[in-house]
Structures are given as structure tokens and as C-alpha cells.
């Protein structure tokens, strides 16, 4: 009898963990949208909704085959240029990367990221201490955007989303 109960518990636990790991990119995008939206935001006109639309359009255009199927640790970097009303985004994992810009005309896929290789590297390492240090030392003073970065990963069978936002930074010697 005891062996039967333990076996049932193992099967139940395995099923729950398996279900928790099966999450789609649109569901992650929605979770990020919820996290970035303020409680008093007009949800239909918010910047968070605009960024969610950009992510979903990137996903729906099928330029992001690594986002289909089983997802692994995923990084999303987004910024909004208030002067041009353009969102720049990069979504990447160890399986692939897509870069895009998004405005009211729609999405444009880019060959290269709008972010420096060093910014991408620090986000991929999730080195928030170095990100803050670089932000203080090398923040773009005029016209620099705020970058919103999210790290999405599985911890004990549950998807976790961590966020950081920081000023765009650039070091002429390193990032040129």
C-alpha cells in the first residue's frame, strides 16, 4: 500500500512539473506585460501593451523558430525611443536570436541587435551588478533609452521571470 502511494505521488509530481514547464512564448509575453504594467495604466494605450504587441508579432511572423516548442532560458531586451515612437527589441537564448524594430507600421526584422555586444553579454550572464556599474560609468547622456531586460527560466519546474531596467550605455573604446 505504501509503495502504491509513493508511486502515485511520483507520477503526480512528474505530471505537475511537466505541465509547469510547458509554457508558450505568448504566455511568457503576457506575463512580462503584466509585470511591466502599472495598476493605473490604460491597458489598451500603454507602452507595456505596445511592447507586448511587438513581441507577439515577432513570434507570429515565424522568424523565431527557436521560440516554438520547448523553451529554455530566454532573454528579452526592449527599449522605446520616445522621439521616433519605435520599439527596439532582441529576444535570444542559446538556441537563437531575433532582432526587430516595431512602430505603428508594423515590425521590421534586423540583422543585428540595437544593443551593444557588451550589453547583450551582461544580460546573458544576468550580471546586474556590472550592468549597474556600466550604467553609472557610460550611460548615454542625450537621447539614451531605458532598456528593459527580462530573464525567463525554469526553477524547480516553475517558470520564473526576472526583470531589470537600465539606461543604455556605450563605451567608445569597447563598443565601437
Query: What local confidence, expressed as pLDDT, does residue 49 receive?
Result: 81
Find how far residue 130's CA is from the centre of its chain. Answer: 19
Query: What local confidence, expressed as pLDDT, does residue 114 receive?
Result: 92
Its pTM stands at 0.79
Query: What local confidence, expressed as pLDDT, does residue 143 receive?
Result: 64
Query: What local confidence, expressed as pLDDT, does residue 16 receive?
Result: 34
Contact 167, 93 (CB under 8 A): no
Query: What local confidence, expressed as pLDDT, does residue 3 receive?
Result: 43
Q: Is the pLDDT of residue 169 over 90?
A: no
Confidence of residue 163 (pLDDT cuts 50, 70, 90): very high
CA 96/CA 71 separation, integer angstroms: 11
Enumerate residues 6+ apart whose C-beta is below 8 A from 88. Answer: 78, 79, 80, 81, 100, 101, 114, 115, 145
Q: Is the pLDDT of residue 155 over 70?
A: yes
pLDDT in tens, 15-24: 333 334 467 8
CA 24/CA 21 separation, integer angstroms: 9
Cell of 11: 507520477
CA 153/CA 142 separation, integer angstroms: 34
Please tell me what DSSP assigns to residue 80: E
Residue 119, classed as helix, strand or coil, is helix
Amino acid at each position: 500500500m505504501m509503495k502504491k502511494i509513493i508511486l502515485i505521488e511520483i507520477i503526480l509530481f512528474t505530471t505537475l512539473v511537466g505541465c509547469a514547464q510547458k509554457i508558450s512564448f505568448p504566455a511568457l509575453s503576457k506575463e512580462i506585460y503584466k509585470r511591466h504594467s502599472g495598476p493605473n495604466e490604460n491597458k489598451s494605450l500603454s507602452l507595456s501593451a505596445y511592447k507586448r504587441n511587438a513581441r507577439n508579432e515577432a513570434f507570429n511572423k515565424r522568424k523565431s523558430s527557436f521560440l516554438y516548442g520547448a523553451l529554455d532560458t530566454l532573454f528579452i531586451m526592449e527599449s522605446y525611443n520616445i522621439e521616433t515612437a519605435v520599439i527596439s527589441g532582441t529576444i535570444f537564448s542559446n538556441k537563437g536570436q531575433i532582432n526587430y524594430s516595431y512602430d505603428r507600421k508594423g515590425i521590421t526584422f534586423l540583422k543585428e541587435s540595437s544593443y551593444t555586444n557588451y550589453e547583450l553579454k551582461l544580460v546573458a550572464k544576468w550580471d546586474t551588478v556590472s550592468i549597474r556599474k556600466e550604467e553609472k560609468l557610460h550611460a548615454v547622456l542625450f537621447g539614451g533609452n531605458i532598456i528593459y531586460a527580462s530573464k525567463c527560466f525554469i526553477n524547480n519546474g516553475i517558470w520564473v521571470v526576472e526583470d531589470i531596467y537600465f539606461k543604455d550605455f556605450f563605451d567608445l573604446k569597447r563598443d565601437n
